[in-house]
Amino acid sequence: MTTMTEETYTPKVVAMNTDAMFQMPKFEVPTMEVPPAFREFAEKGIAQAKDGYDKMKANAEKATETLETTYSIASKGCADYGLKLIETARANSNAAYDLMAELMGAKSYSDFVGLSTAYMRNRFDAFNAQAKELSEHAQKVATETAEPIKESFAKFSKAA
């Protein structure tokens, strides 16, 4: 008779590599050589783009310099024009106060009318002279302001 012995079964635990399960399969990347003509074409394109950028940057710097000069001239001219306006207003105010002082000292109505008429004639001539002076100054400022732009445009036209 055979006796049966009891054997215990213990399963074997096999460690699994889970990292390997989720990795992308490794494919061999084909090597490809860039044709020399294409490489030369790309290098020329890059050189042309760099050259174009350098020219554009130089032109932008020149334009900025021209605008700075123009702005400087315009702001100085406007300040001078403002001072001329103040000077004109002061002269007109002083003339009006002088008239008032003379009118207060008028002895008769005919003196009053004579002083007023002389003042009006004098102020009319003064206003014409002041308007002419202010107009000439404004024209001078405009001409001086436009000069750097004209010079820059002339240089640009010659270069083109």
The model's pTM is: 0.59
Would you say 72 and 149 are in contact if contact means Cβ atoms under 8 Å apart?
no
Give backbone dihedrals phi and psi of 28, rounded to 5 degrees, phi first: -85, 125
Q: Which residue type is seen at 31?
A: T
Q: What average pLDDT score do residues 7-35 get?
A: 68
> Which one is predicted more confidently, 132 or 154?
132
pLDDT at 160: 59
- Cα–Cα dist 88/126, whole Å: 9
- Cα–Cα dist 5/122, whole Å: 145
Judge residue 74's burial from the number of C-beta atoms within 10 Å of its C-beta, 0-12 exposed, 13-18 middle, 19 or more buried.
middle
Average predicted confidence (pLDDT) for the chain:
85
Residue 48 pLDDT grade (very low, low, confident, very high; cuts 50, 70, 90): very high
Query: Tell me: the pLDDT tens digits for 56-80?
Result: 998 889 888 988 999 999 999 999 9
